Amino acid sequence: MSKPNTPNAEAETPAPKRKYLRTIFIKDSSPVANWIFDELLSDSDVPHAAIRVLLYLIRKTIGWDNREEELSLEQIQYGAGVSRPIAIHALWVVCDCWGLFDKTRGRKGQHSSVYAIGNFTEEGFMDRYDLVSRIYGTGFPTPEQVKPRLPPGAKDGKKENPKEFIAAQLATQRKIRDAEDAEREEKFRRRSKAS
């Protein structure tokens, strides 16, 4: 036998629990932030395969209420339905360029890589996307654009690490952008004082 509804402080009975359409029609579903659809699906620079890799990572972490998940490259390839080179490049962009996930590399033959939720906010994504666009001219650089290359003044033909390169470039672009923003604000203040 069920308990009768108990009145609340204002002597009203509580409303029945509301069922949301997504729980009625799409049981056992993974939540995906609207900004992913708004920003990424409409961006012609971002290939569909990369979006599939991102959605697979979301499913395995956020969709299963995990902050991190150990996944092999083969699992990601199979789960997203993409080839090995595409999976590797998409993971590099999603993790290193956009910062949506933090990747901790597993030891070869012993453990798979661990993908933890990174800066998964719209503001964080847009910030990183803008910086990547300043560096490469697109928010989703191609594999050719990010090939390891010789840094200026390098000796012995040692190529730079792409992960270290993007981190340094993001820091440089952030400083440039912040200086430009500060300069614009200063000009605006001067105009406001003059009026």
**Weakest-pLDDT range from 13-17, 41-45, 143-147:** 13-17
154 or 68, which is more confident? 68
Instruction: Retrieve residue 94's tokens.
Output: 């999603």
pLDDT in tens, 91-124: 999 998 899 999 988 777 677 899 999 999 999 9
pLDDT in tens, 1-36: 444 454 545 556 665 656 666 566 667 777 888 899
Mean pLDDT across the stretch 132-154? Answer: 77
In whole angstroms, give the CA distance from residue 31 to residue 135.
31
Fold of 28-146: Arc Repressor Mutant, subunit A (1.10.10)
Cβ-based neighbour number of residue 56 at 10 Å: 24
In whole angstroms, give the CA distance from residue 61 to residue 71.
10
pLDDT at 146 over 50: yes
Q: What is the pLDDT of residue 32?
A: 87
Give residue 81's region: left, alpha or beta (phi > 0; psi -120 to 50): left
Would you say 71 and 113 are in contact if contact means Cβ atoms under 8 Å apart?
yes
Would you say 149 and 158 are in contact if contact means Cβ atoms under 8 Å apart?
no
Would you say 65 and 77 are in contact if contact means Cβ atoms under 8 Å apart?
no
In whole angstroms, give the CA distance from residue 116 to residue 99.
10
Mean pLDDT across the stretch 51-66? Answer: 92
Q: Which residues contact 74 (CB under 8 A, 6 or more apart)?
A: none
